[in-house]
Structure 1
């Protein structure tokens, strides 16, 4: 995310949303893979996790090999560019961590995400408690993540026009209201509609949090900003 933010000054919300949308695609696929291996084919839990790891390893290697920092826009040699950068900035630029706006952003998002993942873990259990079949209940997680894909891309596109912080605030409010309606859904159609709504609104938060942090950071502190933001969110 930090690398993408450095490449794009315009349409940053859209580009970050597309990148983060990849995790939503994984959120659709992995529950189906796990269900097929564990419940349909009777594969042990250990080998199921190993299979997931074997799939992820080449994908992660591809990302490590292909993701590079953007080139410097200068006609000087590479050695001169490195010297200029070292002279202009300190070894460790932590100025973003002292920005009051950034600190409030990290604190606010940490609180917002405090219970945001609860439906991911408990929607299947909740559906089963209502007496619905396990197969349908299990796929509700994929419904949330599938809707989250659109929630991460479309709000990012709108945020570039109407403001990243404005859209992030609206997404947080909409996600909170939707979560309060969770237990009102009892039937399978009702649960599917709720999952679609919650996936879209919660996905918008995950997309816009990165673009908000990126808009506050300089080109040199993008990585630091993402690190502090994700660290604050991880604590909750």
Structure 2
């Protein structure tokens, strides 16, 4: 309980949230694509871990303790890479990329101190004024409501497949298939959202996830489970990547991390 629940929960939050704010500051013009690629990394992990656990626990009969240690040894270099490579944007780099002169006491367009884009929703606000904006509060509340059911299929699709007569190994690989589809769901809609609108795409894919979720019990054969899993993985993946882009769109550049972190805090309750 202490290791898997308390320690893992705290450490995962510390690892997950801050880099998202840094990425948003690096790529303000391509929020959707940036979040899709960043969050898509967790989908790659979601493909690898079920297969790795299946091979160690069931095929090679490795003990649970050493299986978890193998997971830890695999994660350590990945986390070390993240610690050394995730850096804040340098102000002078932004100024060099945008050498336009500063006029009338204003700030250079590329300066991190000022606006990074011309989006009126990103006008510089007070320190935390964006937290009081109705748009942000509704975003947190709406996504928290969606998250009451969004992860349920991901947690139970393996158990459901076994209950439908599928082998345990097949059930494990089914979870990997869902995560593979989720990778494309996080990247492709994120890229499209930079043109069509982040909130527009988030609304559409949240509704689609709900509709597909209601058809879950109709998937009883292996083929049906695969098709359903791929469809749900794609739509739910889009929700997970677009939420950060939507939160970052409201907050000023210097508070991208706070915007994502507060949103994730609301979702963690759900």
Mark yes or no: TM-score above 0.5: yes
CA distance in 2 between partners of 1:199 and 1:13 (Å): 18
Q: CA deviation at 1:172?
A: 0.3
Q: Does 1:108 align with 2:108?
A: no
Q: Does 1:122 align with 2:156?
A: yes
State which of 16, 26, 41 in structure 2 corresponds to 1:22: 41
Check the 8 A contact 1:96/1:224 in 2, yes or no. Answer: no
Check the 8 A contact 1:144/1:195 in 2, yes or no. Answer: yes
State which of 55, 59, 66 in structure 1 corresponds to 2:78: 59
CA distance in 2 between partners of 1:54 and 1:125 (Å): 28
User: What's the secondary structure of 1:103's corresponding residue?
Assistant: helix
Alignment-derived partner of residue 81 in structure 1: none
CA distance in 2 between partners of 1:134 and 1:20 (Å): 28
Alignment-derived partner of residue 68 in structure 1: 87
Find runs of 4+ consecutive structure 1 residues off by over 6 angstroms. Answer: none
Equivalent residues in 2 for 1:1-236 (5 A)? Answer: 1-73=20-92, 93-236=127-270
Q: CA deviation at 1:93?
A: 2.6
Deviates more, 1:179-188 or 1:123-132: 123-132
Q: CA deviation at 1:108?
A: 0.6
Equivalent pairs, count: 223
Alignment-derived partner of residue 17 in structure 2: none
Deviates more, 1:65-74 or 1:16-25: 65-74
Q: What is the alpha-carbon root mean square deviation over aligned residues?
A: 1.6
CA distance in 1 between partners of 2:57 and 2:128 (Å): 46
User: What's the secondary structure of 2:253's corresponding residue?
Assistant: coil
CA distance in 2 between partners of 1:121 and 1:72 (Å): 43
Q: CA deviation at 1:100?
A: 1.7
So what's the TM-score if we normalise by structure 1? 0.91
Check the 8 A contact 1:148/1:202 in 2, yes or no. Answer: yes
So what's the TM-score if we normalise by structure 2? 0.80
CA distance in 1 between partners of 2:204 and 2:54 (Å): 34
CA distance in 2 between partners of 1:148 and 1:33 (Å): 19
CA distance in 1 between partners of 2:242 and 2:85 (Å): 24
Check the 8 A contact 1:37/1:43 in 2, yes or no. Answer: yes
Q: CA deviation at 1:96?
A: 2.3
Q: CA deviation at 1:94?
A: 2.3
